[in-house]
Amino acid sequence: TSVSWSTACDRLPVAFANLAKMIKEEGETVDLYVPRKCSATKRLIPAEDHASVQLNMGTLIRMATTPASSQTFALCGFVGEMGESDAAINRLAVKAGLSEGL
């Protein structure tokens, strides 16, 4: 016999049922997967794209050990396969004001 996911969750204790349904104790639903978008191509990055990367680039103040602020960039595997990831990072950093043009 097959058991549906909701039926299986109903049989679990309350603490485990909340984990299985991804619901916080306050009753707020938590997403299992948050899709990202490539900063260079504006394509959605699927969960199966294991060649994708996410970078946090920070702006540093002179003599500081921690970044003053940071900008997050996500690149899909397609950009890396094309050999354009370094050019895309440079272009995005210049556009965000984190780097000077080369």
Task: Pick 9 or 26 by higher pLDDT.
Answer: 26
Structure confidence by residue, pLDDT tens digits, 41-80: 999 999 899 999 999 888 766 766 666 678 899 999 999 9
Question: In this predicted structure, what is the pLDDT of residue 59?
Answer: 75
What is the pLDDT confidence band of residue 33, given thresholds at 50, 70 and 90? confident
Res 89 pLDDT > 60:
yes
Q: Which residue carries 């970078």 as its tokens?
A: 55
Could you tell me the pTM of the whole model?
A: 0.62
Question: In this predicted structure, what is the pLDDT of residue 28?
Answer: 80
Is residue 38 within 8 Å of residue 75, measured between CB atoms?
yes
Residue whose C-alpha is closest to residue 21's, from 36, 34, 5, 35: 5
Is residue 42 within 8 Å of residue 74, measured between CB atoms?
no
The answer to whether the Cα torsion of 72, 76, 77, 83 is positive or negative is negative
Structure confidence by residue, pLDDT tens digits, 4-25: 444 445 555 555 544 456 677 7
